[in-house]
Amino acid sequence: MLSGALVVSAPGKVILHGEHAVVHGKVALAVALNLRTFLRLQPHSNGKVTLNLPNIGTKLTWDVANLQLLDTNFLEQGDVPAPTPEQLEKLKEVDGMPRNCAGPEHLAVLAFLYLYLGICRKQRALLSLDITVWSELPPGAGLGSSAAYCVCLAAALLTACEDISNPLKDGDSTSRWPEEDLELINQWALRGERVIHGNPSGVDNAISTWGGALRYQQGKISCLNRPPALQILLTNTKIPRSTKALVAGVRNRLIKFPEIVAPLLTSIDAISRECERVLAEMATAPALEQYLVLEELIDMNQHHLNALGVGHTCLDQLCQVTAALGLHSKLTGAGGGGCGITLLRPDLERAEVEAAKQALTSCRFDCWETSIGAPGVSVHLASSLPGPVCQALGGL
């Protein structure tokens, strides 16, 4: 049993190349985004378990004794694609949420209960815990915020129940779990994602668990070896979109114009593969010339995505604003609004980066300067975290 607070974090994700083409069997490259979700777990002996989600204004407390009375046999581990409606109904009976609540906060609470009961049920008694989760990731922007949430919960609960060891040693400020523990974290995180999304691909929780970059094709996920950390601007146009409708639009365009659209998807696949090759080269000796190749690939992919019909005037504006400053941008994710990424070459002056950020925020976009290829789920010494994170987690 933990004697003190446990603090973990996990990254979000962006799709570097291959969005939409991946639906049609092509390669996609996902990279860990160094905007992170942080979780603080404090063990107690007060007979309560509390979940605090300050980003969405949700705080709930349950009596451990009442949860202990639940028949949790329905949580028996099995390779099921998603929790059944009957299983979710059992959780809703004790979730403490209003009956008519069906928003993301309700799904977040259900995922927590599913993981808490599923992981802790093997204990002689359910643990009394105080858990706060706070994120730098905007929700609903296609940046893997729900996966980072589930990865943090899985890592913290598995550690609290001693299914995996706390890898943080004396003198460490940050540490990561060994491979076999990451596998277990990822398995449980995927189960949490299934509560939220039904039948997700598993890409988001995998990239949040292992970090770095991974390749996804036809259900197969493999990590790229030692990808470089690339500096980017991440821009949220704040234009809502329906991923389902955009995917359907591409499919309809492929049916209508097969000889035009099929080569576009094949070309996007080639862009993903070329990017994978360049990133592998950069792992040993990154050079400016390789950044220039990455910029060309970004431009070509963005034009292809527009040809597929998943662009938006705000994304065009994002690309035009950054192009005027000599930078290269593309949409990331479903398109139709949402987010875009801008590569920052290492030879850029500070003033050039600030000018780009100012230009994008003047378009009423949200803009973050961050990196991709970030570390996966990690455990932290609380005192080593930045002040705003400590404050958000309740003043560590």
Q: pLDDT per residue over 45-87, tens digit each?
A: 898 999 999 998 889 999 988 888 876 666 665 555 567 777 7
pTM above 0.95, yes or no: no
- Say yes or no: 61 and 208 in one domain: yes
Query: Helices 258-282 and 243-256, interaxial angle, to 10°?
Result: 120
Task: Quick: pLDDT tens for 159-178.
Answer: 999 999 999 988 889 999 99
17 in Cβ contact with 241 (< 8 Å): no
The reply to whether 186 and 248 lie within a common domain is no
Same domain, 264 and 191: no
Domain co-membership, 205 together with 261? no
Contact 175, 168 (CB under 8 A): yes
Domain assignment present for residue 123? The answer is: yes
Residues 177, 180, 186, 189: is their CA dihedral positive or negative? Answer: negative
| Exposure class string for 85-96: b at 16+ Cβ within 10 A, else e | eebbebbbeebe
Q: Is residue 71 annotated as a catalytic residue, yes or no?
A: no
C-alpha closest to that of 210 among 371, 390, 10, 51:
10
pLDDT, residue 77, reads 54
Residues sharing a CB contact under 8 Å with residue 83, sequence separation 6 or more, in sequence order: 114, 191, 194, 195
Place of tokens 């080269």: 281
How remote is the C-alpha of 194 from its chain's centroid? 14
Q: Which of 59, 5, 7 is nearest to 38 (CA)?
A: 7
Structure tokens at 368: 């973050």
Q: Is 1 part of any domain?
A: no
Regarding whether 278 and 204 lie in a shared domain, the answer is: no
One of 9, 135, 145, 146 is an active-site residue; which one?
146
Residue 198 belongs to some domain of the structure: yes
Look at residue 99 in the predicted model and tell me its pLDDT: 67
Q: Which is catalytic among the residues 9, 204, 208, 378?
A: 204
The pLDDT value recorded for residue 169 is: 87
In-domain check, residue 316: yes
Cα 346 to Cα 360: distance, rounded to the nearest angstrom: 20
Q: Are residues 172 and 243 in the same domain?
A: no
The total number of structural domains that make up the chain: 2
Query: Residue 341: its pLDDT value, please?
Result: 98
Name the E strands within the chain.
Answer: 6-17, 28-44, 48-53, 58-63, 128-135, 174-175, 213-217, 220-223, 230-236, 328-332, 339-343, 366-372, 378-380
Report d(CA 263, CA 253) in Å as an integer: 12
Q: Which domain holds residue 388?
A: 6-225+376-393
Measure the CA–CA gap between 328 and 318, rounded to whole angstroms. Answer: 10
- 114, 25: one domain: yes
Question: CATH code at 165?
Answer: 3.30.230.10
Contact 182, 50 (CB under 8 A): no
DSSP 3-state percent helix, strand, coil across the chain (nearest 5): 45, 20, 35
* Regions of the chain short of the pLDDT cut 50: none
- My answer on whether 175 and 311 are in the same domain is no
Q: Are residues 367 and 380 in the same domain?
A: no
Q: Report DSSP state, residue 74.
A: G
- Residue 274: CATH number of its domain: 3.30.70.890
- In the residue annotation, 172 being an active-site residue is answered as no
Q: What's the confidence (pLDDT) of residue 6? A: 93
Distance of alpha carbon 175 from alpha carbon 314, whole angstroms:
40
Are residues 161 and 122 in contact, defined by beta-carbon separation less than 8 angstroms? yes
Distance between CA atoms of residues 153 and 159, nearest Å: 10
Query: DSSP 3-state assignment of 26?
Result: coil
> φ and ψ at 285, to 5 degrees?
-150, 80
Q: What is the pLDDT of residue 91?
A: 79
Same domain, 215 and 70: yes
